[in-house]
Amino acid sequence: MSVELSGLEAGGRDFPERLGRYRLVRRISRGGMAQVYEARRESLAGVAPRVALKVILPEHAEDENFRDLFINEARVGSQLQHPNLVQIQDFDQQGDLYYLVMEYVEGVTLRRMLSLSKRNGLALSQAVIAEMGRQICEGLHYAHTARAEDGTPRHLVHRDIKPGNVILNPQGVVKILDFGISKVLDAADGHDGVKGTWGYMSPEQASGSAINGAADQFGLGSVLYELAALRRLYGETDQKKIRDLMRRDEGARRTAQLSGTYRDLGPVLMRALQRDPSARYPTAIGMGRALGQLIGDPVLIREKLVELQSTYARLDKTRSPAPTEPVRSQSTLSRSPAPENKSYQSGIPVSVGNVHRPMNPVEIDPGSRPTGGERRELRNTINLAALGVSLLILAFVLLHLFSATDTVEQESLEVPAETIVQDPPIQEAATEAAPAKSVEKPTPKPAKVAENPEPVEVKKPTPKRSKPKPKKTVQRESARPAPKRSPPPQSTVRQEAVETASGRLTVSSLPRSRVSIDGVFLRYTPLLSHEISSGSHMVVLETDDDRRIQFRVDVKTGEEVRRIWDFEQGLWRDP
C-alpha cells in the first residue's frame, strides 16, 4: 500500500485525509526534504490533541539518503527530553511512507522575526538576545551531554543551528528544531562529509574535519550576531569566499565591531566565533553563563520575551509581502534551488508551528502590490525631500560664507595712521607687540583730525585674536594703509595635534585576565579598541589564579595593536 501526497484530492485538498490514526488538518510549511502538517491524534471520547506531523517529500521518498536522515532524526529526537528541544512523540510508516510526529509548537521562528524586524524597523535589545541565546545553550548542552540507554555518552552535535531552526513560543520559551542531520560522534561511519548550512556552519565543519559541541557554538554565535546587527555574519554566497573568511577569522573580527547597546554582547560572540574550536567556550553551558550575565532580572526578561512573541505574532498575521532577501541560506542537503511556486526556505529543517511563513514573491497576491501611481507618488515625495535638504545645506553654506566675508572686511578696514597714533590704547598695544623696535612717533596732522570729528574707537584685541605683528607698526609710521591680517600661526595647532596623537590597543587572553596598562588596572579581558596615547606602554595580564605575563607594546598614531595571550599553552595567538 502506498500513500500519494501530491495531486488534488476530494474537497480541494492537495494532501491525504489521514495518516495512520492522525487526521491531517492543514499544511504548515515545506522544506528541502520534508513538509509539515498540523494534525489531530484522535482518541476516545473526542480527545484529539494537536500535533505536528512531518512527512518526507514525494520526490525524496525513494531516496535512501534522505530516508536514513529522517530515521536518524526520529531515533535521536526520541531520546531527547528537554524544555528547549522540540519533543518527538511518535514515528510510524504507512505503506512506503515514513512520518514523524512531534509536539505542536505555536510560535514564530527567529528567521521570521528577522524578516519582520527589517520590514518594520524593529530592534531586539541586548538582554532579549542574550536570554534567547542562553536558552538555546541549555538545550544544546543537554544534547551534547545526552547518554544512550546503557549510560554511555552520545556526544550529540546538532550541526545546523540557524534562525529557521529556532522558534519562540507564546510562553517565552525558545525551542530548537530538527535533529535531522545531527551526528553522534561515536558512530562507526566516521566523517560523513560537509553537512549544514553555509554561513552558519563552523570552519571545521565546512572543511569536513572532525567536530564536537563547539561547532554548535559557532552556529549559535552567527545567529545571535544576525539578531543584533540585522544582517548575516557571512552575507557572501560563494562557498570559497566563505571558507576564506573563516580561515582569516573574519567572523570574530566583525563581531568585535558591535558597539552601542550591544557592546557587552560582542566579547561573548567573539569567543564563540573563534576559528580554533579550542579557543571557544569549553561547553555550551559555559557560553550560556556568559550570556546570562547580560540579562539582569530573569523574571522581567521572561515577561519581555512573552510580550515580544505577542508583538511579532501580531505582525505576522498581517501576511504582508516579505521583501526579497539578498542572501539565502545554502543547505548542503539542497540538491537544487527551491521551486518558484513553493516556499524559498531551502534545505531541512522546516518550521514547526510557524503558520505565516515567509512567502516567495510569486506567491504574493498581485492586488497587494503597490500600483504604478503609488510608486510614482513615493518617488516624487523622496525627490522633494532630497531637494529640500539640498536647499537647506546650500543656504547654510552661503550664510556661513557671507558671515566670514563680513568679518574679514571689518578686520581689514583702513584707518588713518595719524588718528591711530593719537589713541593711547593703540600705542600701548603696539609697544607691547613690538618692544624691541623704537620708532619716533609722527606729528599729528590737524587737518586729518578735523576730517574725523568723532574718533575711531578701536578695542584691544581679545585673547582669542592674535596680537598684531611688529611690521604693522612700521607701516603705520609711514602712514600707509594697514594690510589685511594674516591667519594666526599654526604652530600651536600642530603642537596640540602632536600632544593628542593616539592609537588603539586590543588585548585578550585565554582564560580571561585583569588588564593593567602602565600600572593602572582597566578591566578584564577582552579590552577592545582601547584608545591610548602613542608610544611605548607596559601591559600586565593577570588571571584569577595568579598567573601573570608582562609585555611592552609600541602604539603608533592612528594604528591599532592587537595581542592575544594563551595562558594554557603559554604562547601568543593570531589576533
| 251: Cα separation from own chain's centroid | 11
Catalytic residues: 160
- Is the sign of the CA dihedral 368, 371, 374, 380 positive or negative? positive
Q: Name, in order, each residue with C-beta under 8 angstroms of 359's C-beta and a sequence gap of 6 or more.
A: 319, 321, 322, 343
Summary count for the chain: helices (H), strands (E): 16, 21
Bridge partner residues of 536 (DSSP) = 554
At 472 the pLDDT is 44
Spatial contact of 203 and 294, defined as CB atoms under 8 Å apart:
no
Half-sphere exposure for 229 (CA within 13 Å, toward CB): 22
Residue 97 to residues 90, 137, 177, 342: CA-CA distances in angstroms?
A: 14, 34, 22, 22
Residues 56 and 66: their CA atoms lie apart, in Å, by 8
Of 543, 541, 535, give the one whose Cα is nearest residue 561.
535
Q: Which amino acid is at 293?
A: Q
At 288 the pLDDT is 96
Residues 16 and 25: their CA atoms lie apart, in Å, by 10
Q: What is the set of domains in the chain, with CATH numbers? A: 106-362 (1.10.510.10), 500-573 (2.60.40)
- Is the sign of the CA dihedral 285, 287, 288, 289 positive or negative? positive
pLDDT digit string, tens, across residues 100-151: 899 998 899 999 999 999 999 999 999 999 999 999 999 999 999 998 888 8
Of 5, 14, 55, 21, give the one whose Cα is nearest residue 348.
55
Residues of the chain with pLDDT under 50: 1-4, 6-12, 182, 184-191, 320-328, 335-371, 408-462, 464-468, 470-479, 482, 489-499
Residue 50 to residues 32, 43, 346: CA-CA distances in angstroms?
A: 24, 11, 26
Spatial contact of 127 and 304, defined as CB atoms under 8 Å apart:
yes
At 484 the pLDDT is 52
Of 240, 228, 213, 72, give the one whose Cα is nearest residue 153.
213
Q: Which amino acid is at 411?
A: E
At 390 the pLDDT is 85
At 284 the pLDDT is 95
Residues 263 and 529: their CA atoms lie apart, in Å, by 12
Instruction: Work out the angle at residue 295's Cα, subtended by the Cα atoms of residues 291 and 301, and round it to the nearest 5 degrees.
Output: 130
